[in-house]
Amino acid sequence: MKWLVIGSAARGGFPQWNCCCLCCSLAWRNDPSVVRRTQCGLAVLSITPFEVAGKAPLSAEKEGRADRPSNTIALEIESAGRRSVVAPNCAVITPAFVRRASGADLLLFDGTVFADDELVRVGVSDRTGTAMGHVAIEGGSLQAFADAASGRRIYVHINNANPVLIKGSAERRRVEAAGWEVAEDGMEIDL
């Protein structure tokens, strides 16, 4: 597990704009013995997990336990009047999920496969996206969220064979024309 601390100071950050205590004075002088810090935002962060359609893990299928619930969750994260919906794994987009994503400032969504059969077609798997518990972009999420009023929409959890990884590909142009972005490592999203 990896965490990124994006703010570690109390309200107002460190140094405080109106403070001349020893610590703040050192920070104002750029003394190397102290490090400036931004405000910790967890106090105003609301995280609501909710279930999304998924499938049993492959290990459960192999052990004959595929009838158990998938325990696939998504997150709705709210802070400072902004709302994000994060669902990197989703097998079926329900009307309830579209309603929940509508109006979000950010939607990070499962972009595992562009076409349901692409992994089979290119010879990297004998399973479709659907069989693995992922809705395809084409014929799936592009259409399901086409009329959803949301801010930024970004595909995450992108399989190595997905052609949206190729800048300028027909598939990449299709998702970008529909208002979607393709996530990259280190991408910063400012809402």
Q: DSSP letters along 145-160, please?
A: TTT---SEEEEES--T
Secondary structure tally for the chain: helices H, strands E: 7, 6
User: What Å distances lie between residue 130 and 103, 108, 126, 139, 191, CA to CA?
Assistant: 27, 19, 12, 12, 32
Alpha helices (H) along the chain:
22-28, 58-62, 95-101, 118-121, 129-132, 142-144, 170-177
The reported pLDDT for the residue numbered 69 is: 56
Tokens in use for 86?
Answer: 């994060």
The reported pLDDT for the residue numbered 65 is: 62
Sorted by sequence, the CB contacts under 8 Å of residue 48 that are 6+ apart come out as 75, 76, 77, 78
Q: Does the predicted model carry a pTM greater than 0.95?
A: no
The reported pLDDT for the residue numbered 4 is: 65
Residue 134 backbone dihedrals phi, psi, to 5 degrees: -130, 130
Task: Please tell me the distance from the alpha carbon of residue 11 to that of residue 158, in angstroms, as a whole number.
Answer: 37
The reported pLDDT for the residue numbered 84 is: 94
Architecture in CATH for domain 45-182: 4-Layer Sandwich (3.60)
For the chain, the domains span 1-43, 45-182
Partners of 186 in the β-ladder: none
Measured in whole angstroms, the distance separating CA 79 from the mean position of its chain's CA atoms is 16
Task: Please tell me the distance from the alpha carbon of residue 118 to that of residue 131, in angstroms, as a whole number.
Answer: 12
Question: What is the full per-residue pLDDT of the chain (191 aa) written as tens digits?
Answer: 556 667 777 777 899 888 888 988 999 999 998 888 887 765 677 889 999 988 766 666 677 666 655 668 999 999 888 999 999 999 999 999 999 999 999 999 999 999 999 999 999 899 999 988 899 999 999 999 998 877 999 999 999 889 999 999 999 999 999 999 999 887 888 88
Partners of 49 in the β-ladder: 75
The reported pLDDT for the residue numbered 71 is: 67
